[in-house]
Amino acid sequence: MGELVVGDWFGKAVVDATTTMLTEPFVHDFVRANIWHVKGRDADLLVDTGMGICPLAPHIETPAGKPLIV
């Protein structure tokens, strides 16, 4: 398998203090989806996990020990 040459695979838009939308701008529009990270008091929620082409975990900012519901 060849090496990925795209710099920043994920795009990021902060919607408000608790909601962030991530995108995969290099995925074709037909199959692209928005990834939503909603920060809660007791746990965070991650809606969708993308195409799985690049690791998503490094782009999710959740404090250590705080549950992340996927």
Residue-wise pLDDT tens digits, 11-24: 999 999 999 999 99
Q: Does position 35 have pLDDT exceeding 80, yes or no? A: yes
Band (pLDDT 50/70/90 cuts) for residue 6 is low
Tokens of 14: 């902060």
Q: What is the pLDDT of residue 8?
A: 86
Per-domain residue ranges of the chain: 11-69
Query: How many helical (H) and strand (E) elements, i.e. helices and strands, does the chain have?
Result: 0, 5
- Compute the chain's Rg from CA coordinates: 13
Q: What letter would DSSP give residue 44?
A: E
